Structure 1
Amino acid sequence: MTISTPDLCDEYGDEVQVAEPVFKHFGGIRQFGGEIVTVKCFEDNSKVGEMVKTPGNGRVLVVDGGASPRRSLLGDMLVSQALVNNWSGIVIYGYIRDVEEIATMTIGVIALGTIPRKTEKRGLGDVNIRLQMAGLDIAPGQWIYVDETGVIVADKPLVTAG
């Protein structure tokens, strides 16, 4: 999939939302996109783990971790699961770990930054709910596109695989 967020912004104008420039790339793929599945959690990645074990079907998991820098919401084991289950990418509004390993994986991963401390598993979090993060209002079923320039969200697919 070839994605140019500047070209998509030029073509679709106010039909797309543009994220605040807070994300950094960590995965081996720098351009990715797909239909959004959401998770909201805080310092507990149990729901992230549950979701990456399900069929991704080319979708993107968007996780609102409240931007907490105290716990990592994603590591190499969960990214490996996402890759096996055909997720196109993962967006973490929070922090991740195992970045050296994640960088070698053929999946898109962006996050705010890194922290080595893992989360506690308490089974907390919500799946497929509306999120407000990084200046975006995100609903499950919308579409997200990511490249080196930025992150945009649309109500419909703007790019086809190929």
Structure 2
Amino acid sequence: MPTTDLCDKYYEEIITGGTVRVLAPAFQVYGKRCSFSGPVTTLKVFEDNSLVRAALEQQGDGKVLVVDGGGSLRCALLGGNLAAMASTNGWAGILVNGCVRDVEEINAVDVGVRALAPHPLKSFKRGQGEKDVAVVFGGVRILPGEWCYSDMDGILIANKKL
């Protein structure tokens, strides 16, 4: 179901700050999959994509990886190789509060990606960050196990499958 229809159907919950929240329209669209949805797995990292790689190496089973990179615009947390890995391992999509690189490669892969901007510099590899924690960005708090719905009109987070 398109995010616009979900917004119409769950309008009261959105307005009251209830079970459905809308992220600020700050994210660019990448990847072949223009719309995706699935249960959320979260990461909180800063300029280090070690945990991103570790997560995408696992079977995604239709999940959405939500990466809070602190909004950093100084390096990329996801590139073409990791996007291809995500597709191969069954991830529905990746939402990055940060940057991506290898945009042409990502756009050739059957996975949905949302990120703030492209950046050519790769991230550090320190193995730092947290997995399956609450993250806050785009004006929305996102918890592991919630549901992400994304298409060309925007991104919604719901506390359950809609």
Match of 2:42 in 1: 38
After the TM superposition, which residues 13-162 of structure 1 pair with which residues of structure 2 at under 5 Å, given as runs?
13=11, 14=13, 15-158=19-162
Query: What's 1:12 paired with?
Result: 10
Structure 1: where are the runs of 5+ without partners? Answer: none
3-state SS of paired residue (2:90): coil
Report the CA distance between 1:146 and its aligned residue: 0.3
Deviation string 1:69-108 (CA, Å, 9 cap, x unpaired) is 1110000111111111100000000000000011011110
In the TM superposition, what is the alpha-carbon distance from 1:120 to its structure 2 partner?
1.1
Large movers: runs of 4+ above 2 Å: none
Secondary structure in structure 2 of the residue aligned to 1:37: strand
RMSD: 0.7
Aligned amino acid, residue 89 of structure 1: G
User: Displacement of 1:12 after TM fit?
Assistant: 1.4
Shift of 1:139: 0.2
Identical residues among aligned pairs (%): 44
Q: Which amino acid aligns with 1:7?
A: D
Q: Which amino acid aligns with 1:5?
A: T
TM-score by length of 2: 0.95
Gaps of 5+ in 2: 14-18
Matched residue type, 1:103: N
Q: In structure 2, how many angstroms separate the alpha carbons of the residues matched to 1:103 and 1:114? A: 12
